[in-house]
Structures are given as structure tokens and as C-alpha cells.
Structure 1
Amino acid sequence: MNGSVKTPSAEEQSAREKIRAVLEPARFDLLERFVGALDQWGAVSNLVSAADRERIWARHIADSLQVVALAEGRGRRWIDLGAGAGFPGLVVAIARPETVMTLVESNRKKAAFLLRVVADCGLDAKVEPHRAEALAADTYDVVSARALAPLHKLLALSEPFFGPDTLGLFPKGRDAGTEIEAVSDHRFDVTAHPSQTDPDGAVLAVTNLVRV
């Protein structure tokens, strides 16, 4: 029937409940507020596809939350490049309340959405509505990016935000190993953590990044 509310899949409901179980209630409530805003805006602003809106919890939020665990023990300052609709940056800012987040997104509609969620959720975050290349160099504790660019381009974009103790967290698909081998203009240490949401994927944890 037209206008009916589609029932979430069993996978989606299960993922939502698993996430609820590991977050403080106030943090989970903010995630639900974010998801609600994403569903409203996504239908008219092309933030995410209709198919992706049906698997927000099972794929995108779960995928984003795994970088929170990998950043345990790191400092507060975090920059998310190509933040898009908020994955992983907004999810990190919600789930990791000590984080001071910078969301970099040059697309006006997506940047406007990020600003609205930051304000509505009272997050300690700012939105930079520019390309990463336009930002002044600064040192962050964590740099992240999801589905933004191949690793060699990602490292070039990330380098201005790296210091000696910075951690880069970059979710990748089945070609993660090939992307690592293709990097020729940077030296770095990397650990590939198996993805919890993509059986063929990995989250690349990059440290000691320097241009050669």
C-alpha cells in the first residue's frame, strides 16, 4: 500500500539491538535521532540511496562503530575526511563523547545535513564545507575516511593532518592489500584489522606516515 512504513529486515533489527546493548542509553538515543534525520533528509537530498537507508544499522552504523574500538586510548582530536552523510564521523562523535570532531565535506547538501545533526544532537563537532586540500595543515590524534579514495590518494590527503602519534583509520574492501602495495610516495606502518561488517574487507590502521 502506498505510504506504508516498511518493516526493517531481521538483520537490521538485530544489528540495532546489538548496538543498543553496547552503548549508553543517551548515546543510543542520539544515534536514533541521527538515523531519523538521515531517513528524512535522504529521501529528498540523495544523501544515501534507498537501499542503503534500509540497512543503516546493519551496514553503515556497525561499520562506523568498529573504528571507535580501534581508536581506544587515542586523544580527542579527530578529523573525518569526506564525511558524506556522517559515516564514520558523526557516528564516532555520538558514540565517543570525549571526541572533538572535525567533519570535512565539500558537498553543500551533505554539509548542511551534518551541521543540522551536530546542532540537534549537541555534539562537540564542527563542519568544514571544503575539500580536504583547502584546509590548513594541523595535527590530529585520529584521521579517518570511508569510501573516499584509493589508499595512495587518501594518504596524500591525510598527510597534512598527521603528526608523529597520529592514527589513520581507513575501512577498505577486498582490494586493501593491492591498495597498500600501490603506494609509492609515502612510507608508513599499517595493520589490517578484519572488518566486522564485510567478510572481504579490512580497516587499515596507519601510523608513522611520511612522504618520501
Structure 2
Amino acid sequence: MIGDVSRETKDLLNEYQELLVRWNKKINLVAPSTISQLRARHIDDCLQISRYADPECGIWADLGSGGGLPGIVLAIFFASRPVRFMLVESDQRKAAFLRSVARSLDLHNVNVQNDRIEAINPLNAAHISARALAPLPRLMPYLDRHMAKDGQAWLMKGEKWQAEVDEARKYWKFNLTSIASSTQPGAAILKIGEVSDA
């Protein structure tokens, strides 16, 4: 999938990959067993969101950013858009990595918030993303707190996503579009909007 992006974007993604590999030796940003498939397993996986999202302005909040997946990948892809990426990460070492990447790649559209998701003021975000953070029922209060009324969430979920949706619907109302993952069989990107208590 990386062939579908501009030369400048490709170069930045390559630089990001190098930084991720280098820092991963000291901080567990991605599972070491996945390093050999870093491009397909992580970067191309996250780039899928760029096929469906069309951010025009406002805040894009990436919750539990970890190693910047998908936050940094999307900030690189959408660097020419007037969108501010807020990467929320409670782990100090991972937050330091994210800040270092933003500086190294000259990503002026990125801010890092080193705090717990539930502790920060509501972000009123036009877009929210999360990958491998928590089951959907636990994510819903975060969406309710931080997403703008007309906002959209892009949640990357594994094979058990339907069971998570069914459980979340017991407590929450929301619009849902599921998009089959092109990189992981059975996985999906969940596009969620109009969140409210059930």
C-alpha cells in the first residue's frame, strides 16, 4: 500500500519506520516478533484509515498512541491538511518517543499529551483513532467524552470486533460502519459516530 502515497510521504514513513525500529530496542513500542513485518503489519495497516477518512480541519485525537500507530502514520499522510493531531499517551517513555518523532520528521501538526485519556479536558475532536487500546465497551466513554457531536471515530479492531460491538450496544447508542481490514483477515476498522447513552 505504501506505493499509493507521494514521494515525500513515503520518505517520511521510511524515516518513521527507522526511528521505530531503533527505539523499539529500548522501549516496547511494537511486539519484537512483528519487527520483520513492520511495514505491512503496522504501517500499511494504519494507512488503511486514510482511504476512508477525509479530515478537513479541527483536532484528530489518537488515543493511547503508544508507538504512534495510527497517529503518527496519519499525521504524516494528512500533513498538508489544516488538521491538528493530538496524540494522547500516558506512558512517559512512549510520549518521549512520539515527541522525538514529531521533531525529527518536522511534523508541526502533532502535539503529544502525556496523560491518561480520562484525565484530560474534553477535546471536542472531529476525528478520533485508536488501535489495540481496549475493548469497545471500555472505549465508548472516551469517545463520548472527547468526540465532537458530529465527529467520527476510527477504531482498529481484531477478529472479535462483532462481539465487542454487541456488548457495547447494551450500554451505548452509536452509528457504525464496519470496514474489512485488507491487511489482517477477520479484522476491521470501525467507523463510529453519534455516540450517546443507551
Q: Distance in 2 between matches of 1:45 and 1:96?
A: 27
- 1:24 corresponds to: 6
Q: Distance in 1 between matches of 2:55 and 2:99?
A: 27
Q: Distance in 2 between matches of 1:149 and 1:182?
A: 13
- 1:121 corresponds to: 105
Q: Normalising to structure 2: TM-score of the pair?
A: 0.94
SS in 2 for 1:166: strand
- 2:84 corresponds to: 100
Q: Distance in 1 between matches of 2:149 and 2:52?
A: 18
SS in 1 for 2:155: strand
- 2:96 corresponds to: 112
- 8 Å Cα contact 2:55/2:127 also seen in 1: no
Q: 1:74 to 1:165 in 2, by over 3 A?
A: farther
SS in 1 for 2:182: coil
SS in 2 for 1:182: helix
- 1:14 corresponds to: none
Which deviations, in whole Å up to 9, do the C-alpha atoms of 1:8-32 show, x marking residues without a partner?
Answer: xxxxxxxxxx40x211111111111
Please show how residues 1-212 of structure 1 align to structure 2 within 5 Å.
Answer: 18-19=1-2, 21-72=3-54, 74-97=56-79, 98=81, 99-123=83-107, 124-183=109-168, 184-212=170-198
Q: Normalising to structure 1: TM-score of the pair?
A: 0.88
SS in 2 for 1:158: helix
RMSD: 1.2
Structure with bigger strand share is 2
Percent sequence identity is 32
Q: Distance in 1 between matches of 2:57 and 2:155?
A: 17
- 1:10 corresponds to: none
Which deviations, in whole Å up to 9, do the C-alpha atoms of 1:80-117 show, x marking residues without a partner?
Answer: 00000010000000011113100001111111000000
- 8 Å Cα contact 1:79/1:102 also seen in 2: yes
Q: Distance in 2 between matches of 1:73 and 1:137?
A: 19
Q: Distance in 2 between matches of 1:63 and 1:155?
A: 22
Q: Distance in 2 between matches of 1:162 and 1:47?
A: 26
Which deviations, in whole Å up to 9, do the C-alpha atoms of 1:12-70 show, x marking residues without a partner?
Answer: xxxxxx40x21111111111111111111101222222212111101101110011122
Matched AA of 2:153: G
Equivalenced residue count is 194
SS in 1 for 2:90: coil
- 1:4 corresponds to: none
SS in 2 for 1:78: strand
Matched AA of 1:85: G
Q: 1:74 to 1:154 in 2, by over 3 A?
A: farther
The Cα shift of 1:76 comes to 4.2
- 1:9 corresponds to: none
